[in-house]
């Protein structure tokens, strides 16, 4: 890691983005106190990670990459162990375990051995473990890798739900996830922060937009390229067109107007969600 500095605020979901090997996990390992930084300092909930290491660790809920769990333990047993490690009194712990099992949708699986659970459920156990002691800061390292689309949606929903009164940092390299969850995004590459912006600022950055439109029959593309700002129109499959613009102005209403003026049978009009991907690509792709 090279000279990185950022603050995550309370109630905020901070997405940590970067290509593989950029240093996302390393940053998180340093923040959780698993490895120590050669220089610089990290504060969690006001506690220095090195000097007040126990207090800072008490305030973190951490889901490491690959979600390591004690496979030979039962779900309940594992959560009980996790809670005891945080010194929770057993009465409070019982209530809390019930609560997180409920929240994470583990009710049916709670008496199973962790080794018998599918990946999605293991991920929930990992999340439950991170939430158990009600930490102020949640650090989730790639919480949705390797899950099927349904599970990803459920985990995302869960993350959104639990993040209300917490500071949440999570890493990913999936763009849709950032768009679905984050308030703010930090992009790092090769150990350096190359962007620290809110989602809106970042989408605006791309400066150009892509639209996909569909007509029920082939049309003359020249009417479309006449719209101001349009840089390229290409046929993409039968009767489908891809329009690229150089400005970040929304031209959908204009397209519609032109279509109706020229009596073109417009059946589909969609703004492409790929703009963040482009930003990501331009920021991390070169060098």
Comparing CB distances to another protein, the nearer of 61 and 178 is 61
**Using alpha carbons only, what angle is made at residue 198 by residues 197 and 199, rounded to the nearest 5 degrees?**
115
Q: How far is the CB of 57 from another protein (least distance, A)?
A: 4
Q: How far is the CB of 70 from another protein (least distance, A)?
A: 6
Tell me, by CB under 8 A, how many residues bind another protein: 27
How many other C-beta atoms lie within 10 A of the C-beta of residue 243? 24
Comparing CB distances to another protein, the nearer of 6 and 81 is 81
Q: How far is the CB of 64 from another protein (least distance, A)?
A: 5
**Binding track, positions 1-30, relative to another protein; x by CB under 8 A:** ----------------------------x-
Comparing CB distances to another protein, the nearer of 60 and 159 is 60
Comparing CB distances to another protein, the nearer of 47 and 241 is 47
Helix (DSSP H) and strand (DSSP E) numbers for the chain: 11, 12
Comparing CB distances to another protein, the nearer of 69 and 202 is 69
Q: How far is the CB of 118 from another protein (least distance, A)?
A: 18
Comparing CB distances to another protein, the nearer of 46 and 226 is 46
**Binding track, positions 38-77, relative to another protein; x by CB under 8 A:** ----------------xx-xx-x-x-x-x-xxxxx----x
Rounded CA separation 36/33 (Å): 6
Give φ, ψ of 89 to 5 degrees.
-65, 145
**Residue 81 contacts another protein per CB under 8 A:** yes
Q: How far is the CB of 120 from another protein (least distance, A)?
A: 18
Rounded CA separation 28/60 (Å): 11
Q: How far is the CB of 67 from another protein (least distance, A)?
A: 8
Whether 131 and 140 have beta carbons less than 8 Å apart is answered as: no
Measuring CA to CA, how many Å separate 266 from each of 216, 217, 240?
A: 7, 9, 10
- Tell me the DSSP string of 54-118: HHHHHTEEEE-TT----TTSBHHHHHHHHHHHTT--HHHHHHHHHHHHHHTT-TTTTTSBGGGS-
Whether 12 and 168 have beta carbons less than 8 Å apart is answered as: yes
**Residue 35 contacts another protein per CB under 8 A:** yes
Rounded CA separation 148/158 (Å): 15
| Coil vs helix vs strand at 199 | helix
**Residue 282 contacts another protein per CB under 8 A:** no
Rounded CA separation 133/85 (Å): 10
Comparing CB distances to another protein, the nearer of 55 and 248 is 55
Give residues 115-174 in contact with another protein (rule: CB under 8 A). Answer: 129
Q: How far is the CB of 177 from another protein (least distance, A)?
A: 22
* Residues lying near another protein in the complex (CB under 8 A): 29, 32-36, 54-55, 57-58, 60, 62, 64, 66, 68-72, 77, 81-82, 84-87, 129
């Amino acid at each position: 890691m090279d000279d990185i500095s950022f603050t995550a605020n309370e109630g905020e979901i901070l997405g940590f983005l970067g290509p593989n090997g950029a240093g996302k996990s390393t940053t998180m390992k340093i923040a959780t106190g698993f490895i120590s930084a050669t220089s610089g300092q990290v504060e969690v909930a006001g506690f220095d990670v090195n000097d007040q290491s126990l207090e800072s660790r008490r305030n973190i809920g951490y889901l490491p990459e690959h979600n390591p769990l004690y496979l030979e333990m039962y779900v309940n047993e594992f959560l009980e162990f996790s809670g005891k490690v945080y010194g929770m009194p057993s009465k409070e712990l019982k209530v809390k375990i019930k609560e997180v099992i409920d929240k994470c949708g583990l009710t049916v699986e709670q008496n199973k051995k962790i080794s018998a659970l599918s990946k999605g459920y293991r991920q929930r156990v990992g999340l439950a473990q991170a939430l158990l002691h009600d930490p102020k800061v949640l650090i989730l390292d790639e919480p949705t890798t390797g899950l099927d689309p349904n599970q990803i949606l459920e985990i995302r929903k869960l993350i959104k739900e639990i993040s209300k009164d917490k500071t949440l940092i999570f890493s990913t390299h999936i763009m849709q996830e950032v768009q679905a969850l984050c308030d703010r995004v930090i992009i790092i590459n090769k150990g350096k922060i190359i962007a620290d912006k809110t989602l809106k600022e970042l989408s605006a950055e791309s400066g150009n937009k892509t639209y996909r439109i569909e007509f029920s029959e082939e049309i003359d593309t020249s009417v479309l390229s006449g719209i101001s700002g349009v840089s390229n129109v290409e046929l993409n499959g039968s009767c489908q067109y891809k329009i690229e613009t150089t400005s970040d102005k929304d031209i959908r209403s204009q397209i519609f107007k032109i279509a109706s003026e020229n009596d073109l049978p417009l059946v589909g009009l969609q703004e492409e969600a790929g703009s963040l991907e482009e930003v990501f690509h331009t920021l991390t792709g070169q060098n």
